[in-house]
Amino acid sequence: MADHGGIGGLGPQRINPEDKAQLAESPVRWRRVAELFAPQRWRMTLLVSIIVLIALVGMGQPFLLRAVIDDALPNRDTHLLVSAVLGMIVITVVTAIGGVWQTWLASAIGERVMHNLRVDVFTNLQRQSIDFFKRTRAGEIQSRLVNDVAGLQSVLTTTATSVATNLTTAVATAIAMVVLDWRLSLISLIVLPPAIWGTRRVALVRRDLTQARQHALSRLHGEVDEALSVSGAMLSKTLGIADQRTASFSAISTSLIDLDMRSQLAGRWRMATMNIIFAILPAIIYLAAGFGPVDGGLTIGTVVAFTALQTQIFRPIMGVLNVGAQWVASMALMSRIFEYLDLVPQVATPAHPVRLDVSGVQGRIRYEHVSYAYPGSDDLALDDFDLTIPAGTSVGLAGSTGSGKSTAASLLSRLADPDRGRITIDGVDLRDLDPHDLASIVGVVTQETYLVHDSLRGNLLLAKPDASDGELWQALEAARIADVVRGLPDGLETMVGARGHRFSGGERQRIAVARTLLRNPRVLILDEATSALDVTTEHQLQAALDHLAVGRTTLTIAHRLSTIRDADQIVVLDEGRITECGSHDELMRLGGRYAQMNDQHLLGSLAA
């Protein structure tokens, strides 16, 4: 996105082509923007009133200055002098206090509007299906939620106050100039346009260089994130590409040297141009007053006051010229944010959910001719999947990679909804359940364990915020990880590190199991839950899970067939369809796909 801030308060704003393209693709209706600010209408009215009042009061300064120079000092009129000086002080105090109040109001409006918008976007993103997060880069989501909202807050606050302040100040200053002397005002109309044009031309150069520097810094930050994260550092070391990373980082850093040098030089040229212009403007007025047609009745006080106003009008005019680009930039940011705010969840929350007494749920599961294809794919991940799982029983899903095992589990936890058919728990369609109730009923432990960057206690309390230490240790014991935690210097207060890298893969998985068991769900999904464990630890954890599965409906997915050998029923999947179903012994006697997989597993174990 464009750099929306001005340079030293006078930086020009070019309309960024990316902003125009964004608005062309996703236009923003003015009414929708107004709705965001509707709760702040009284504050905005007060803000505009203060801006107008400051501009009007501030225009009294040049007239008081003229009175001091033309009347009070030459005539030794001390009464007038004191009154005029006091008036100047009062105007300065009023405008200063008004400026502080104006800033507070503008910030308060921006903060409240952006807070509501930020929370609404965050809430809607949490409603999205897992597929959305799979196809969307995490950096893009963070950029829109954090950077775009922050940029929008800055731009909208600046733009709203800038329009009112600059327009009011420019109009009031122009009127004051005409009142002081209309002939000098005509001369200013000739002088100001080329002065403004020259300033913008010089500042545009630095503007482009600043934008290029921001892009280079973004690339530099990307290199740091890629190379110096835990995963990035591991990749560099295992592939031996540290020298390549360094060379890439050095190249970007070198480009920054050139951009910084050119930006600094352009900045000096800009300041030099500004100094020349601010020197020329009053000089021309002095020449016009001395040699031009404006003679007779033109006092020294008028000339001094007029030159002061002429300098003051320069800045608000520049600000008004920038409003167009600022507005396009803010609307482009708004468009990007609205795109996320308007995302329709693929897994929608029911308008009138069926409320279940979670403690009374039996856990009877029914897949009724379920079919599902991942978005963008024509191939069915599940095809007419029909299965009944009695309450309190265990089911193991077997099959080759891509056969649909994990898809069946993800549909049961409602990470997605079936394209056809339905899934019920105790006869209630999952789509009719409140998401919080479903999360309490169905617990999931996946092969990709995720621990937040917090203490062990903090990670466990995610499942049950009011859990006592006794409950935490009980869950850790059940997951066969309690001894490891006791051996840590900080125990439950141990920080797990980024994504849990403080612990081994098997330890992370057992912590995740403890977290799920702490929630005590009626239905338990174990998706490759023991995949990261060694044989000894797997047997220990499997024994604990077998004990805890008593009275609980359990769906287990594993490449190691030993983990589902004792399941009440084993379902074999191939290309999303159920090909075999029965107990271990029944399927072995059948001599079909399961028996072949079991033999291959035994051969692999012997070879190992």
Question: In this model, does residue 583 exceed pLDDT 70?
Answer: yes
> What is the spatial distance between Cα 35 and Cα 37, in angstroms, rounded to a whole number?
5
Residues 97-143 pLDDT 10s: 988 888 888 888 888 888 888 888 888 888 887 777 777 766 677 77
Backbone angles phi, psi at 554, to 5 degrees: -125, 130
Do residues 177 and 190 share a domain?
no
pLDDT band (50, 70, 90) for residue 343: confident
Question: In this model, does residue 328 exceed pLDDT 90?
Answer: no
Do residues 192 and 323 share a domain?
no
Residue with tokens 């609980």: 552
Which of 87-91, 191-195, 270-274 reaches the highest mean pLDDT?
Answer: 87-91
Domain boundary residue among 297, 315, 334?
Answer: 297
| Entry field: residues in the chain | 608
DSSP characters over 347-406: SPPPSSPBP--GGG----EEEEEEEE--TT--S-SEEEEEEEE-TT-EEEEE-STTSSHH
Which of the residue ranges 70-79, 322-331, 465-474, 582-591 would you say has the lowest mean pLDDT?
322-331
The mean pLDDT value for 518-546 works out to 72
Do residues 219 and 310 share a domain?
no
Beta strands in 40-132 (DSSP E): none
Question: In this model, does residue 422 exceed pLDDT 90?
Answer: yes
The helix-helix angle for 60-67 and 149-180 (nearest 10°) equals 40
Do residues 168 and 186 share a domain?
no
Q: Which residue has the higher pLDDT, 193 or 439?
A: 439
Q: Which two tokens stand for residue 288?
A: 């016009």
pLDDT at 1: 41
pLDDT at 543: 64
C-beta of residue 252 within 8 angstroms of C-beta of residue 219 = yes
pLDDT band (50, 70, 90) for residue 205: low
Question: In this model, does residue 165 exceed pLDDT 50?
Answer: yes
Domain that holds residue 254: 182-297
Do residues 536 and 399 share a domain?
yes
Residues 457-478 pLDDT 10s: 998 998 888 889 899 998 898 8
Q: Is residue 211 part of a domain?
A: yes
C-beta of residue 580 within 8 angstroms of C-beta of residue 572 = yes
Do residues 269 and 312 share a domain?
no
Do residues 264 and 401 share a domain?
no
Do residues 25 and 113 share a domain?
yes
Q: Is residue 351 part of a domain?
A: no
Beta pairing, strands 382-389 & 365-372: antiparallel
Do residues 24 and 172 share a domain?
yes
Do residues 452 and 582 share a domain?
yes
Backbone angles phi, psi at 11, to 5 degrees: -65, 135
Which of 5-9, 25-29, 32-36, 510-514 reaches the highest mean pLDDT?
Answer: 510-514
pLDDT band (50, 70, 90) for residue 577: very high
> What is the spatial distance between Cα 497 and Cα 476, in angstroms, rounded to a whole number?
19
**Domain containing 507 — which CATH number?**
3.40.50.300
**Domain containing 73 — which CATH number?**
1.20.1560.10
The mean pLDDT value for 270-275 works out to 67
Q: Is residue 352 part of a domain?
A: no
Q: Is residue 505 part of a domain?
A: yes
pLDDT at 86: 93
Domain boundary residue among 286, 320, 346?
Answer: 346
Do residues 383 and 334 share a domain?
no
Question: Alpha carbon of 581 to those of 50, 148, 399, 571: distances in Å?
Answer: 77, 52, 12, 5
Into how many domains does the chain fold? 3
pLDDT at 200: 61
C-beta of residue 459 within 8 angstroms of C-beta of residue 512 = no
pLDDT band (50, 70, 90) for residue 18: low
Q: Which residues contact 473 (CB under 8 A, 6 or more apart)?
A: 482
pLDDT at 423: 95
Question: In this model, does residue 570 exceed pLDDT 90?
Answer: yes
* Mean pLDDT across the chain: 79
If DSSP codes are grouped into helix, strand and coil, which group holds residue 238? helix
pLDDT at 608: 47
pLDDT at 390: 93
pLDDT band (50, 70, 90) for residue 3: very low
Which of the residue ranges 63-67, 146-150, 265-269, 354-358 would you say has the lowest mean pLDDT?
265-269
Q: Is residue 367 part of a domain?
A: yes
pLDDT at 419: 92
Residues 208-234 pLDDT 10s: 666 677 677 767 777 777 777 767 777
Question: In this model, does residue 194 exceed pLDDT 90?
Answer: no
**pLDDT > 90 fraction of the chain, expressed in percent and rounded:** 13
The mean pLDDT value for 312-320 works out to 71
Backbone angles phi, psi at 385, to 5 degrees: -80, 115
pLDDT at 154: 65
Do residues 421 and 525 share a domain?
yes
